[in-house]
Amino acid sequence: MFGKLQKTMGEVLELPPDVMGDGPKITVTGRKQVYIENYKEIVTFSGEKISLATSEGELYVTGKALVLKTVLPAELQIEGEFISLGYLSDKGGE
């Protein structure tokens, strides 16, 4: 009975999961800008592909003339001409 009455603070305040969790928050503005919060580290970086380690797995952005505009410990901004954004599968393939 008591277990059914318990709620997390996020449920009580009706906050979305991305606000309460430590997972990445990804904001895409058109095809020219991506803002990523809560990443762990930059895995690879080139003008055609950027890979980031996150709590959800390896996130990648592919495109042309990719540039890291802002790099802070928990957030970064990427600009360029984007082609795709996705996660690598657990098996290491796309």
Q: How many CB atoms lie within 10 A of CB 76?
A: 18
Range of the domain at 41: 23-87
Do the domain assignments include residue 27? yes
The closest of 1, 85, 83, 71 to 41, measured between CA atoms, is 71
User: How far is the CA of 44 from the CAs of 47, 51, 59, 93, in angstroms?
Assistant: 10, 5, 11, 15
Do the domain assignments include residue 45? yes
Of the chain, the percentage scoring pLDDT greater than 90 comes to 68
- pTM (2 d.p.): 0.73
Domain count, the chain: 1
Do the domain assignments include residue 5? no
Do the domain assignments include residue 4? no
pLDDT at 5: 47
When comparing pLDDT for 93 and 84, which is higher? 84
pLDDT at 23: 87
CATH number of the domain at 54, please: 2.60.40.2000
Do the domain assignments include residue 78? yes
> What is the per-residue pLDDT across 47-83, written as a single tens digit (0 to 9) for each?
999 999 999 999 999 999 999 999 999 999 999 999 9
Do the domain assignments include residue 34? yes
